[in-house]
Amino acid sequence: SGRLLFVEDDEDQLATTPRVLESLGYEVTACRGADQALAELVRAPQAFRLLITDFDMPGTNGLDLARAAVRLRPDLPVLMVSGRQRAFSAADAADCLTAVLPKPFSKAAISEAIRNALG
């Protein structure tokens, strides 16, 4: 349980993934991009148990969002999702990520990744 911040620029994913997360028992705040997500974090930094972000987004990518988010709240776990190999290479060098989940993912896979990220 708890509140998740979900960030995705793809309209289909933005419409479907929050419903999947809600079916798992989470409250979800869905954002269309990094700027909107950072505004949510600035407004209420302690409101979220986990940040889930896509890697490829216009403007600020998910890795840069993760860096900014943990500067605002160092204890915030960050789960990045991506279908691109370069995201996994970049993530290997990043200390701001809790985990990276490959796309496409199943309900079971994201559920397990969230449980692991939340400890």
| pLDDT by 10s per residue, the chain, length 119 | 899 999 999 999 999 999 999 999 999 999 999 999 999 999 999 999 999 999 999 999 999 999 999 999 999 999 999 988 777 777 776 788 888 999 999 999 999 999 999 98
What is the C-alpha separation between 87 and 94, in angstroms, rounded? 10
pLDDT score of 102: 92
The pLDDT score that the predictor gives to residue 93 is: 65
Place of tokens 């949510």: 40
Collapsing DSSP to helix, strand or coil, 28 comes out as strand
Tokens of 49: 């148990």
